[in-house]
Chains A and B, each alone.
Chain A
Amino acid sequence: MMERGKGDRIASASFFLLGLPATLAIPAIVISLFSLAHPSGLSLALSLVIPSLVIAGIALAFSAPLGIGAALFTSEFLHFRQRRPVTLLLEGLGALPPVCAAWIATLILAPWWDAISLPLFVFFILTPAVFSMASLATPLIPVHLVDRLFGPKLALLCSVLLGGCLLACIPFFRGASVLPPIHSSFGAGIAISLFLAPKVAARVLFHLTRIPDHLREASLTCGATRWETARRVVVPRAILPIGFTLLELMAWASGETMVVLVLCGSPAQAPWGGATLASALVLGLPESIPSSIAQGGLLWSALALLILSVLAQIPTALREPRP
């Protein structure tokens, strides 16, 4: 056993005394919420869980492909000298305050919503749909003929994208309301992905850069392209932590407040939006009377958010080595 000086013991004790209560005091939220909560709020909170998760899901549906793609591009394709600035940029962009995203959505996205909604539709809904249908239909089509005519899947992708862009140029389609208006859960999801996508990218990039470089080198020396390396070596290795990260971010986004409050959170925006856990909390709690039934009921929403985020983090916590 190593000799420990007197100063060590004092330091240890003081750090323990300072640090431990400081951080462990926060879980007191849970306890206080439990003690204050009133059972009548439970049904409200439960009814709000689904809208919250829907918005988070829409946000993630947009930001996950964008973020994962950008992270893969940065770690696997970008020249190593450009990697650091791009990493800094992605991490920085993820810090865009939610309220600014809400402002940008109402000021910049809303006037052009009709114009951008069709490309969004094409990119995120039409293209995957066509792809999945094409892959389903592959056994029926003489593949080599298609390949010779159009090249591989790349050509298919390009033609779909080009077609979408062309469609978007036709005024008739530009006004077509293929998507819900911006003041809706859908619009809120888009606005949230303004800062969620760089966040996803930065966190995924972290997992990708932890994969040792010599694995990539080994794959390259086997004659694989960078993309084959990414697809067969890098992605399979990182897929689990990436999935868990997405889960965590989904729980985190379900508690997103400002964007939801502005775009879809108030009951007035009922047909396309509606209250979520966070918006109910922010709109109701300040008006509620201290230690009243209303306050206790609303606290169930906070508790639900808390439980959601804790549940979402359990897989990550379980991956950590335990004593």
Chain B
Amino acid sequence: MTESPQPTARHPYPVDDPLIELEGFGLSLGGRQILSNISFSVPKGSITALIGPSGSGKTALLRSFNRMNEWTDPVRMDGSLKFEGKDIHSSGTDLLGLRSRVGMVFRTPNAFSMSVLENVAYALRVQGKRHPEDGAEKILRRTGLWNLLKDRLSDRGDRLPSGLQQRLCVARALAASPALLLLDEPCSILDPVNTAELEDLLLSLGGEPTVVIVTHNPQQAARISQYTAFLSQGRLVEVGPTERVFQRPQRRETDDYISGRFG
């Protein structure tokens, strides 16, 4: 292993093999500045949590990683956001290719109204992979859902209970073996039991793929992530290994938020 680069102001923790690199990244949606001057890296194989109060821009940041922001609002961007070494906001980006490499799970469980198996096979099917059903079965086994769902494979996915449905959505996002999995507050409508099950699922992935999760629950970030970025009002306040951020926060704001004193 080569010598790690020294922590700098821009890269507050050493990253050997970054999957995502942000350099002075700023974002405005519909003419409103949402994010400004954000610089950090997401190491490959890690689970990174984005935390912060609501309205801090964490979801917008997450959606920048697969360019889903521009689906709803006119977007203007500054700085650079590199995924696998390529700036994904350059005009030549292959959007479909990018989204095939980046899976996403949303706040509410949103299985399609097709069978469970078809739901999981969906990504493989639209990406033109061969034998989507086999791939679906493989991913169901990997995520531990096979035993739960093997008798209900032809049931409609959108009729599953929400906890199971959300795990199905994770499986669907993982099916095409993406390099990055984005989760946008995946547990916000789940009860603690379902939340724990989903967290176990994420931890069982073992760094393949890299995970970025937005959560408004700092404890969840502490439980599952290796790195944590704290955002507030569109700025990156602090970023670093989760343990350090939680035990020795360098900024007052972070400390306040984590310990629950933040408005």
Chain A residues with a Cβ under 8 A of chain B = 80-81, 212-215, 217-225, 228, 232-233, 236-237
Contacts and interface: CB of A to CB of B under 8 A. Distances in A.
Interface string B94-116: 00110110111011101011100
Interface in B242-256: none
B108 A222 contact: no
B103 A221 contact: yes
B173 A222 contact: yes
Given A218-B110, A221-B99, 15 more contacts: A212-B110, A215-B110, A217-B104, A217-B106, A218-B104, A219-B112, A221-B104, A222-B99, A222-B123, A222-B175, A222-B176, A223-B96, A225-B96, A228-B126, A236-B113
B72 interface: yes
A222 B126 contact: yes
Q: Say whether chain A's binding surface is mostly helix, strand, loop, or mixed.
A: helix
A222 B113 contact: no
Contacts of B126: 219, 222-225, 228, 232
18 contacts: A81-B74, A213-B72, A214-B107, A215-B110, A217-B68, A217-B104, A217-B106, A218-B106, A220-B99, A221-B66, A221-B68, A222-B103, A222-B123, A223-B96, A224-B123, A224-B126, A233-B112, A237-B112
Contact of A80 (B72, B103, B175, B182): B72
Nearest to B107: A214
Nearest to B118: A232
For chain B, give the interface size range: 20 to 34
Contact of B71 (A217, A225, A233): A217
A50 B16 CA distance: 76
Interface of B: 66, 68, 71-72, 74, 96-97, 99-100, 102-104, 106-108, 110, 112-114, 122-123, 125-127, 169, 172-173, 175-176, 182
A214 B108 contact: yes
Contact of B106 (A80, A214, A228, A237): A214
Contacts of A225: 96, 126
Given A212-B110, A223-B99, A225-B96, A218 B169 contact: yes
Contact of A232 (B100, B122, B169): B122
Nearest to A234: B112
Q: Say whether chain B's binding surface is mostly helix, strand, loop, or mixed.
A: mixed
Given A233-B112, A237-B113, A219 B71 contact: no
Contacts of B97: 223
A143 to B, nearest CB: 15
Contacts of B112: 215, 218-219, 232-233, 237
A80 B112 CA distance: 22
A228 B127 CA distance: 10
A212 B99 CA distance: 20
A33 to B, nearest CB: 42
B123 A223 contact: yes
Given A217-B106, A236-B113, A222 B122 contact: yes
Contacts of A219: 112, 122, 126
A232 B125 CA distance: 10
Contacts of A221: 66, 68, 99, 102-104, 173, 182
A221 B180 CA distance: 11
A214 B96 CA distance: 18
A189 to B, nearest CB: 34
A228 B107 CA distance: 23
Nearest to B127: A223
A106 B106 CA distance: 55
A237 B125 CA distance: 18
A76 B125 CA distance: 20
Best-surrounded residue of B103, B114, B122 (most CB of chain A within 10 A): B122
A236 B114 contact: yes
Contacts of A237: 112-113
B196 to A, nearest CB: 23
Contacts of A228: 126
A36 B13 CA distance: 89
B96 to A, nearest CB: 6
B187 to A, nearest CB: 16
A228 B100 CA distance: 14
Nearest to B72: A80
A219 B112 CA distance: 9
B110 A214 contact: yes
Best-surrounded residue of A217, A218, A223, A233 (most CB of chain B within 10 A): A223
A223 B176 contact: yes
Contacts of B108: 214
Nearest to B98: A223
A168 to B, nearest CB: 37
Best-surrounded residue of B103, B108, B110, B175 (most CB of chain A within 10 A): B110
